Every structure is written in C-alpha cells, then in structure tokens.
Structure 1
Amino acid sequence: MDRILYTASNGAARILEQQSAISNNMANVSTTGFRAQLAQYRSVPVVPHAGELPTRVSTVAATPGSRFAQGAMVDTGHALDAAIAGEGWFAVQTPEGEAYTRAGEFGVNQENQLVTQTGLPVLSNDGGPIEVPERGSITFATDGQISALGAGDNPRDIQLLGQLKLVNPPKDQLQRGDDGLFRLAGGQPAQADEAVRIAPGFVEKSNVNPAEAMVAMIANARQFELQMQVIKNASTNAERGNSILSAAG
C-alpha cells in the first residue's frame, strides 16, 4: 500500500480531533463561565529510510490548553449570582476533590448548602461547604464575604456565613477535566488568593467566539475533504499500477 495513504489518513484523523474540540466549543457558547478549548495540529516531516528522499509530511495533535480570556459580564440582579472580576476561580467540591470554575450561578440545595447549578458544593476559605439559613437572604461582598439575613430577622441581626474560597493558580498548572472543571496538575488544592474579586449580581458568559468557531469548522471540513481526495487519488493510482503489472505479466 502506498505510504501516502497512511500520511493522508493520519492527517484526516487529526482534523477530526480538532473538529471535535471546536464542536464542543460551539455547544457551550451559552454555558456560563465556559473556557474555549484550544486544539490544534501541526505538520512534521516524516523521517525517511536510507535511500529515500524526505518528501512526506505528517501531522501530530497539539493541544495548547484553554483560552482564559474573560467572557462578557451580564447583570442578572440575582442575589445568588456572582462573577469573577478579572482573573481567578471559584472553588467547588467534587467526588474527585477540589476543582475550579468561573460559573457563578449558585443555588441552595435541600441541605441548605450553597451549590453550583450542577449541585456541587461551593467551598469557603476553610475548605468546607457553606451553610445558608433556611429562607435566608444572601448577600455577596466583592471580596467573597457572605452575609445572610434570616426570614423575619431584624436587619441588625445579619449573619456572616464565611467567605468564598477564591483562587488564582498559574494558568499553566491548570488542567481541564472531562466534567469541564479545572484542577491543578498535581491534584493538590490551590491556596486562596485575597486579591481575587467578584461582581455580585453578575454572571460571566462563555468566552467562545461563535463566528470564529464557525469559520474554523468550515475550514476543517475543507481540509478533511482534501485529505479524502488524496486517499482516493492514491487508491486510483494503485489500481492503475496493478492493472499495468497484470497486463505485463
């Protein structure tokens, strides 16, 4: 079999991998706090055998990580909504340990704990879940301090529930999990960063650029068609070569 088939099929496989990442970005255009995944591929020369010319080029996948630019801030006015103002992350508890997200659409579960939209407990500075008084009114401060006023309580009896754990680890140490959350590469919890600030009553939208993603999908589709055409041409040439050899025999 002509080695060009392997070269072209390898290129087609890398294109499909990138297309999968772009499709995932498109699917999360409306996901609060989503960070666009960067998946690329690059060309590399194929090392020839002795006596062969270096005429072939293959491709390898290169995934540099995620785009961490801030998404658009939307004023919701909801008391349980908060967005990171600038760099930083909210800390949440998962079955696999501590993880980080930019999604600040919070709620209260049946155990009166502050949770994410997927039900994960939001962590406080002491590493534990945040208890919310039943039917209490929650207020976030820009530094993550949480205060609450119980139903029917005097405004002077406001309670301090704690402080959101806000972290800002180096971006090159963060890894995206299959659940879309980020974790430190070593798995250890990050230290709280007092410099991180939040915007109460706001949420941060996805930082995916829909137009850019659509253009990338179209470009990838065209590249895939070219790879398929190369495979088709190689197959046709092989059939013609076999016919010539059969006739000569």
Structure 2
Amino acid sequence: MQGGYYSSVGGIATQINRLDVIANNIANANTTGFKRDDVVIGDFLRLYEQHKDFLPIKEQTKDAAKFYNRSLNRVPQIVEEFTDRALGGMMMTENTLDFALGRENAYFMVETPSGIRFTRDGSFTLNEEGRLVTKEGFPVLPREYIDAPQYIDFINGFQMEVDTNGNIFTRSLNNEEINETLLFSNLAVASFENPKYLKKVGDNLYQYPEERYNEMEFLGQSGAVRQGFLEKSNINVIYEMTGLIETNRLVEAYSKVLKTHMDELNTEAITKLATKA
C-alpha cells in the first residue's frame, strides 16, 4: 500500500473543499451582516483515536486495522467547519428602515415559509400592506411573536423611530401632537446560549433547532440596535485572497506528489517485479 498516494488524494480533496469555503467568503464580501466561514484541517488519526476501542469490526482483525490505520491516519481532512462571528464595520445609510446590531450573538427574527429564521441583515422595507419585511419579503417579528403570533404593521401618516433596545415608537405627522411619541412595537433581538447550533440556510438567514428554543433569549435591554446603519460583512478580502493562493499552491504540490507515485514509483515497482519474475 502506498501511503503517500492516499495522503496526496486526501490532501487534494481537502484543499478543494477549503477552496469552496474561501470562494463563498469572497463572493459575500459585500453582503450585509455576512459572517465568514473557515475550516480546521486535521488528519484521520483524530477519528482513529476516537473509535479505536470499537475495533475489530466485522471481517476485520486488530492487526489488519492497525496496518490500514498506519497508512491512512495522516491523510489530511477537514475536521471542523466554523463561522467567525466577529462584528463587521458599521455603515451609515440614514435610512430609517436600515438597522445594524452592535454586538455579537444578536440576531433579528423573521418569519419564512419554512419557519422562524434569524439574520444579521437589517436592511428592511415596508411591503404594500405597510408591514415591516426583509428584502426577500419575510416579515420581521416582534418579541411577542413566540407567545402570540403578530407582525409589525404601520399606517400612513406616522414616522417611525427605534431606540437602541429595539423599541419602536411612532410620531404623528398629521396633527399638533407631532412632538409626542408613542410606544408602538419592538424588534425581536435574539441571543443564543449555544450559537454554534446556528446553521446557515441561505438568503443570509440562520436556523436554530426548535427543540433548543428554551436556550434563546430576547434582549430587551441590549443597547445594540442602530437605526440608520447597516453592518458590513466581516470579510477581509486580502486575507481571503492569501488563503486562495495558498490553497492553489497546495493542490499543485499534492498533484505533483500524486503524479510521482503514479508515473514513477509504480513504473519502477512493476519493472523490478517483472525483472525478478
């Protein structure tokens, strides 16, 4: 068995998967509130250490398992993929329907056809019914939605103001009480005990397991909401391009090793065996 052959193939596959992650990061460099993904590259030895007590398996002896693992336990592979949740920069838009969150582990809650989802993208708008929605048309939800499903609907003739805790106030533009504000509703800002369970599901949305909703907390005093701002992605394009170049070079290096095994070592082995025979 040629251990170098398996290591090279595993290395190429691992770097191609890493390349997909980097390419997705670069593609979302200008996506509002996007959080970069990254990978941890390890080897088969970690898996072997976790499961070696279960050997031998069916039709396999301990000696055979040790032989195979000596050859395969250093094959590179992605052992973990994670999301960097660091804050992105704040961009002022002066649009009253744009919102940013100035702290990590805080998300707006929206309703989609697939259920409740969470997002850092606060570029909201009003639909034809006067309902506060995302750019995709998903209703933005208040904190009370979990206990009593409801939406944030506005009527004409009122100005909306939102404080740093997400409380929505309205100010009438049609009468003498223009300077008086009334508490109208609020933006649900959710935080999670275990944010690692947040899963990206597309459209800049996250899903959190319903069975873990008891770990979710609504931040009524977060002080994190910024009206008239949007959060940029936390992508550093220069850093991602450096990773892209590194990945391409590693794929090229592994390819050369693989070619050496296939074209030179195999040929030499066949020649020597044929000579001895």
- TM class by shorter chain equals 0.7 to 0.9
Q: Quote the residue 2:27 is aligned against.
A: 27
Q: Which amino acid aligns with 1:195?
A: Q
Matches of 2:163 and 2:190, distance apart in 1: 16
Tell me how far 1:64 sits from its aligned partner.
4.1
Tell me how far 1:75 sits from its aligned partner.
1.0
SS in 2 for 1:218: helix
Matched, 1:119 2:137: yes
CA contact (8 A) 2:133 2:140 kept: yes
Identical columns (%): 24
Q: Which moved more, 1:43-52 or 1:53-62?
A: 43-52
Q: Which runs of 5+ in 2 are unaligned?
A: 49-62
Matched, 1:162 2:185: yes
CA contact (8 A) 1:36 1:208 kept: yes
SS in 2 for 1:126: helix
Q: Which moved more, 1:200-209 or 1:94-103?
A: 94-103
CA contact (8 A) 1:80 1:139 kept: no
Q: Which moved more, 1:104-113 or 1:47-56?
A: 47-56
CA contact (8 A) 1:173 1:184 kept: no
CA contact (8 A) 2:165 2:219 kept: no
Matches of 1:37 and 1:174, distance apart in 2: 14
Matches of 1:161 and 1:52, distance apart in 2: 67
Tell me how far 1:90 sits from its aligned partner.
0.9
Matched, 1:131 2:149: no
Q: Quote the residue 1:174 is aligned against.
A: 197
Greater fraction of residues in helix: 2
Matches of 1:238 and 1:188, distance apart in 2: 54
Compared CA separation, residues 181 and 150, structure 1 to 2 (3 A): same
* TM-score, scaled to structure 2: 0.80
2:126 to 105, 108, 118: 108
Runs of 4+ in 1 over 6 A off after TM superposition: none
Matches of 1:138 and 1:222, distance apart in 2: 53
Q: Quote the residue 1:69 is aligned against.
A: 86
* TM-score, scaled to structure 1: 0.88
Q: Quote the residue 1:228 is aligned against.
A: 255
Compared CA separation, residues 52 and 73, structure 1 to 2 (3 A): closer
Matched, 1:204 2:227: no
Tell me how far 1:145 sits from its aligned partner.
1.2
Q: Which moved more, 1:64-73 or 1:91-100?
A: 91-100
Q: Quote the residue 1:243 is aligned against.
A: 271
Matches of 1:38 and 1:92, distance apart in 2: 26
2:77 to 56, 60, 76: 60
SS in 2 for 1:77: coil
SS in 2 for 1:177: strand
Matched, 1:194 2:245: no
Compared CA separation, residues 20 and 153, structure 1 to 2 (3 A): farther
Q: Quote the residue 1:2 is aligned against.
A: 2
Q: Quote the residue 2:54 is aligned against.
A: none
2:207 to 180, 183, 193: 183
Alignment RMSD, CA only?
A: 2.6
Compared CA separation, residues 144 and 76, structure 1 to 2 (3 A): same
CA contact (8 A) 2:167 2:186 kept: yes
Q: Which amino acid aligns with 1:200?
A: Q
Tell me how far 1:139 sits from its aligned partner.
1.8
Q: Which moved more, 1:233-242 or 1:48-57?
A: 48-57
2:165 to 130, 138, 143: 143
Compared CA separation, residues 118 and 188, structure 1 to 2 (3 A): farther
Q: Which moved more, 1:145-154 or 1:126-135?
A: 145-154
